[in-house]
Amino acid sequence: MHLSSLAWALALASLAVAAPSRRSNLVVHERRAQEPRDWVLTRRLDSGAVLPMRFGLAQSNMHKVEEMLMSVAHPSSPTYGQHFSMKEIVDTFAPSTETVEHVVNWLVGEGIDKKRLKLSPSKGWIEFDATAEEAEGLLDAEYHVYTHAETGAQQIGCHSYSVPEDIREHIDLIKPTVHFLHRVPTPNQLRKRSFERPSTHIKSGLKTDGSLADVPADLANCDQLITLDCLRALYSIDYTPVSTDKNTFGILEFTPQAFLQSDLDMFFANFSPSQVGTKPILISIDGGVDQTQDTGFNFNGESDLDLEYAFGLTNPQPILLLQTGDIPEGASFDNWLDAVDASFCTFEGGDDPTQDGIYPDPLPGGFDQPESCGILTPPFVISTSYGQDESSVTAAYAQRQCTEYAKLGMLGSTVLYSSGDNGVAGNGGICLDGDGNPVENGSQFNPDFPVTCPFVTAVGATQVNPGSTVDDPEGACEQVIFSGGGFSNFFAMPDYQAAAVTSFLTNHPPPFSGEQFNNSGVARGFPDLSANGANYVVAVAGEFERVFGTSCSSPVVGSMITLINDARIAAGKGPVGFINPVIYTDKFQAAFHDITTGGNQGCGTPGFTSTEGWDPVTGVGTPNFTALLPLFLELP
């Protein structure tokens, strides 16, 4: 399939073909978010080099995004739970004919033959191949080649680009331009520690008699080892699903992360024997496979953890494994969004080769089929334990992706992201300098993305404090990892959290200035809620490991929401969808354990401190499932 010709669209419009050059009106549309680390500017791009230019058209009715989402997600809305159809959403937000015309007129006026222009099937993108010289003239940009110091890999990019002032409102972003570096999101610094007990002894114990006789994995030791039973006790989870054929729960993984069936079975044999042999349903996105050529903690840790705990807590709910990206290239957040929303899908016309996997993939062993576009109805719950630094993307890129999460909420999906594992710092503990660039000794906090998008649910991490039991209050996680939290540098505070966040800032003013975080009082705060993220027993590559991370917390919250959806489906209701407007209400506070101790240190500071009420370390707290269920069942 190829991009449809623009001819039909143009027939509708009488084009002004000889528009005067508007170069004098050019205004900067996007500037690179940060200078690339580890990439060296090598040379100016040859003027004859061909660039596959893609112009992302502005969607219509963007002012309605929040209003439509709240109409189905806010508990006081009369239409709560009456989610929209995909068609309603596509029709509402599709770029207008007027927008297509404006952009086409501009390009044609700049001398681009209209026969070279293609419109994507979604009508979201205009595409044409431009020489570097043409692109540079059009966008007042300079393209350079950058070389990766270690691997010699190369990519091209420009530092900023401009468009005519009257075109700005019709364009979200243009690629390839300033979006740099981030092809594969890295798993949140998932950390592990081998059992501190004599590990050979424990392992042989497991292998020989299949029991945990000599492992102190019981309720008395949840401060040292978290198991399914610890979580059930901590969060009062006592529910067996009955609507499994109608319910859906998706776990998102990015290749080369992969699970090993032998690990799941090893975990089940010890902690959930009836599930031995249970497999996830593989949804292959862009050639996503459960690769087994690379194994070990770094390849299997995340997927094994997510599936072992999601399966265990929602038994017997089937689980969809959204395995995204082929082995050579991998994928990004945009790629899985393409798979659940054909209108976002930028088939041959919009994914950014420096950010996103581009399919078909010509690399040896690559996925040689068309990009996975609208292949999947979004599951009711989607848990994702991957993230990148907000500072590594541009505001326009983040905004466009964030709008997609709002649409998933309108459709009735709960989208959960782990909040990051470095406290107020970014991946690798990196913070920002005064200009927002990542530096070793930066003092400005470095929040994660996409958790800062106000239309996802951000999940932070807690711990059973050392020496405490499941009956004692948990604290913020301060072992091995620190719960990602703070305030967005891009996104404004949504109404649903205004009271909670304002109360925090007013009653517990953090000892930091605007130099460290956006303290305006109108920035989006995160996380939204939290769950245990320390000391998980996970079978990985044939061994039990002890695992830490908000990566643990997200699938646990996802499991609880899945159980709630099950009960609602059994009661003839729909899934809960976007939960944030609900969980911040006064009424629901009684169903959360408020976390009031611990902090999320980073950037040479103690970070924020957990306190009464919402805080930017643990959100509104950890769920009490037994209390939460009837409240969600009361909603229409």
Ligand X SMILES: *[C@@H]1O[C@H](CO)[C@@H](O)[C@H](O)[C@H]1NC(C)=O
Return the active site residues. 302, 306, 551
Question: Which of residues 492, 515, 612, 633 is near ligand X by CB under 6 A?
Answer: 492
Tokens of 217: 């994995």
Which one, 443 or 585, has the nearer CB to ligand X?
A: 443
Q: How far is the CB of 369 from ligand X (least distance, A)?
A: 40
Q: How far is the CB of 590 from ligand X (least distance, A)?
A: 7
Are 595 and 527 in contact by the 8 Å Cβ rule? The answer is no
Contacts of 87 (CB under 8 A, 6+ apart): none
Q: Residue 208 interacts with ligand X (CB under 6 A)? A: no
Q: In this structure, what are the phi and psi dihedrals at residue 112, rounded to the nearest 5 degrees?
A: -85, 120
Residues 609-628, mask of contacts with ligand X (x by CB under 6 A): ---------------x-xx-
Please indicate if the annotation marks 613 as binding a ligand. yes
Which one, 7 or 220, has the nearer CB to ligand X?
A: 220
How far, in whole angstroms, is CA 206 from its chain's centroid? 36
Are 350 and 120 in contact by the 8 Å Cβ rule? The answer is yes
Q: Residue 435 interacts with ligand X (CB under 6 A)? A: no
Tokens of 161: 């680009």
Region from 115-123, 351-359, 487-495, 541-549 binding ligand X, contact rule CB under 6 A: 487-495
Residues 225-254, mask of contacts with ligand X (x by CB under 6 A): -----------x------------------
Which one, 460 or 494, has the nearer CB to ligand X?
A: 494
Q: How far is the CB of 615 from ligand X (least distance, A)?
A: 19
Q: How far is the CB of 589 from ligand X (least distance, A)?
A: 12
Per-residue 3-state assignment (H helix, E strand, C coil) for 511-564: CCCCCCCCCCCCEEEECCEEEECCCEEEEECCEEEEEECHHHHHHHHHHHHHHH
Count of alpha carbons within 13 Å of 150, Cβ hemisphere only? Answer: 2
Please indicate if the annotation marks 430 as binding a ligand. no
Question: Which of residues 188, 518, 554, 609 is near ligand X by CB under 6 A?
Answer: 518
* DSSP letter, residue 597: S
Which one, 132 or 505, has the nearer CB to ligand X?
A: 505
In the range 521-540, which residues lie near ligand X by CB under 6 A? Answer: 522-523
Q: CB atoms < 10 A from the CB of 377, how many?
A: 11
Q: Residue 499 interacts with ligand X (CB under 6 A)? A: no
| Share of the chain residues as helix, strand and coil, in percent rounded to the nearest 5 | 30, 20, 50
* CA 327/CA 339 separation, integer angstroms: 18
Region from 70-78, 250-258, 415-423, 488-496 binding ligand X, contact rule CB under 6 A: 488-496
* CA 111/CA 121 separation, integer angstroms: 24
Q: How far is the CB of 509 from ligand X (least distance, A)?
A: 16
Q: How far is the CB of 154 from ligand X (least distance, A)?
A: 27
Q: How far is the CB of 458 from ligand X (least distance, A)?
A: 16
SS3 of 197, please? coil
Are 255 and 384 in contact by the 8 Å Cβ rule? The answer is no
Residues 27-56, mask of contacts with ligand X (x by CB under 6 A): ------------------------------
Provide the residue type at 24 as one letter. Answer: S
Q: How far is the CB of 28 from ligand X (least distance, A)?
A: 17
Size of the site for ligand X (CB under 6 A): 13
Which one, 325 or 602, has the nearer CB to ligand X?
A: 602
Question: Which of residues 4, 293, 377, 520 is near ligand X by CB under 6 A?
Answer: 520
Which one, 132 or 529, has the nearer CB to ligand X?
A: 529
Are 147 and 38 in contact by the 8 Å Cβ rule? The answer is no
Q: How far is the CB of 122 from ligand X (least distance, A)?
A: 29
Determine how β-strand 438-439 pairs with β-strand 431-432.
Answer: antiparallel
Determine how β-strand 592-593 pairs with β-strand 118-119.
Answer: unpaired
Region from 122-130, 156-164, 363-371, 519-527 binding ligand X, contact rule CB under 6 A: 519-527
* DSSP letter, residue 115: G
* CA 590/CA 583 separation, integer angstroms: 10
Which one, 288 or 621, has the nearer CB to ligand X?
A: 621
Count of alpha carbons within 13 Å of 214, Cβ hemisphere only? Answer: 14
CA 409, 412, 418, 424 dihedral sign is positive
Per-residue 3-state assignment (H helix, E strand, C coil) for 273-332: HHHCCCCCEEEEECCCCCCCCCCCHHHHHHHHHHHHHHHHHHCCCCCEEEEECECCCECC
Q: Residue 631 interacts with ligand X (CB under 6 A)? A: no
Backbone dihedral region of 236: left (phi > 0), alpha (psi from -120 to 50 degrees) or beta?
left
* CA 216/CA 105 separation, integer angstroms: 71
Residues 437-456, mask of contacts with ligand X (x by CB under 6 A): ----x-x-------------
Region from 33-41, 135-143, 343-351, 520-528 binding ligand X, contact rule CB under 6 A: 520-528
Which one, 155 or 403, has the nearer CB to ligand X?
A: 403
* DSSP-assigned beta bridge partners for residue 482: 422
* DSSP letter, residue 422: B
* DSSP letter, residue 474: P
* CA 636/CA 632 separation, integer angstroms: 9
Which one, 463 or 489, has the nearer CB to ligand X?
A: 489
Are 597 and 436 in contact by the 8 Å Cβ rule? The answer is no
Q: How far is the CB of 441 from ligand X (least distance, A)?
A: 4
Please indicate if the annotation marks 594 as binding a ligand. yes
Which one, 186 or 443, has the nearer CB to ligand X?
A: 443
Please indicate if the annotation marks 615 as binding a ligand. yes
Binding residues vs ligand X (CB under 6 A):
236, 441, 443, 489, 491-492, 518, 520, 522-523, 624, 626-627
Q: Where is the binding site for Ca(2+), in residues?
A: 594-595, 613, 615
Q: Where is the binding site, in residues?
A: 594-595, 613, 615
